[in-house]
Structures are given as C-alpha cells and as structure tokens.
Amino acid sequence: MDDRLFKELKHIPILCVEDEDGIRENIVQTLEYYFDEVFEAQDGNEAFELYEYYKPKIVLTDIQMKNCDGVELIRKIRQIDKDITIFVLTAYSTEEYLLDLINLNINHFIIKPLNLKKLNEALLKYLDKDLKPIELCKGLVLDIEKREVIYNGNEIISLRKREKDFLQLLVKRKNSIVTYDQIEQELWLEKEMTTHALKSFIKDLRSKLPINIIKNVPQEGYTLIKEGC
C-alpha cells in the first residue's frame, strides 16, 4: 500500500464487531497493522456502547450475531450518524439481509472469509472517498490530500491538520451545527479543549481564508456559511 495512504490510516479509529472469538482476534491483529486504535466487540450491544464512547471513523461488522445483530447495530448507528463508514462482513447465506443493508447505506461489502486483498480494497475505497477535494464555497476548494485550500484556482493556502479536519467536519454537518462537544471529540481527541484555545484556533483559521465561511452560533457551536458564497 502507498506509504502516504498508510500514514492516513494510522490515525483513524476503527471498530471491529464479530461474535466468534478466534475470527475476531485474527481480524483485530490484521487491523492493528494499519490502525493505531482498534476497538473490538463480540455483539451489537457491546459495539454500540463502544461506538458511543470512542466515536470510531470506521465500523467493520459481521451480520449474524447473538443479542444484537449487525443490521440492528447499523440501524442504531445510522439514526445518529449518516457519515460514518461501515464495512459489512457477509456470507452468501445472508442475502436475506441485503435489502435492509442497502437501505442503510453500507459503504462496502466484504465476502467472507476476510483476507488482505479484500481488506485493502475496502480501505482504499474509504481513503479515496475521504480524500476527494471539497468545494467549500464558490471559488474556494479544500484539497484533503494536500491539506490545502485553493482560491480561484491559483491561490494556495496551506492548512494544519486540525484546520483541515475542522473544515471537513463543517462540510459533513453542513445542514446542521457542529457543536462544541463534537469539535472537542473530533479534533482535540485526548486533550481538553478550553474556550480560549477554540477561539484562538477559529481566529487563526479565519485569518487564513480569503472568504469568511465560518459562522458562530452562540452557546452552540459553528456552521458553514452558505449565503453569499
């Protein structure tokens, strides 16, 4: 795998859900080669608790499990998160679930047994999706791969990783408000986000951008400005 893509994966948390211990252990060992943070669960109930606590970027789940199966788990996650990437481990015997899974916007199906080739295909698909340039506003494009903003096709503005991640978050939540809690969970990770640190971060980012596209919603968070762009 391309070294640049490999580095991108290292900092992405992933959740593996599989009820058979031996299979899960093998999958987790493989995932740990790519990811620094790999969480594991043996059923949908445990997986949903881990999802709520750790907020992984990717969920890799089996379908047929005791207590809470994969379809129910995905349904619960999709009710509160439309953007998270979900890979489904499936067997031909699970065709009865296919329509439900398609309606739940699954990102990739992996036919059992899982191997490196199938895993690489899924991970590359995730990175290709996540690295596409994003139009923030007319004439203002965010290049995820290069971590730059391009203005009017020629002016290039370099970004720090947190700045790039914040703009991505605004785009993903473009029809809603990105709350202070979401910003802390997504961008500050294990560190505490102080009010001063956040205000200073936003001020510095605004000063870099040729157009103000960041709107503060008092007592709530931030959103992407659409009017006038």
pLDDT for 151 equals 93
Task: Give the pLDDT mean for 110-121.
Answer: 88
pLDDT higher than 80, residue 52: yes
pLDDT digits over 19-50, tens only?
999 999 999 999 998 899 999 999 999 999 99
Contact yes or no for 63/94 (Cβ under 8 A)? yes
Rounded distance, CA 50 to CA 155, Å? 42
Band of residue 224 on the pLDDT scale cut at 50, 70, 90: very high
Entry pTM: 0.67
> Which stretches of the chain are DSSP H helices?
3-10, 21-34, 44-54, 70-80, 98-103, 116-130, 161-172, 180-183, 195-208
pLDDT for 148 equals 92
One-letter identity of residue 47: A
Contact yes or no for 148/157 (Cβ under 8 A)? yes
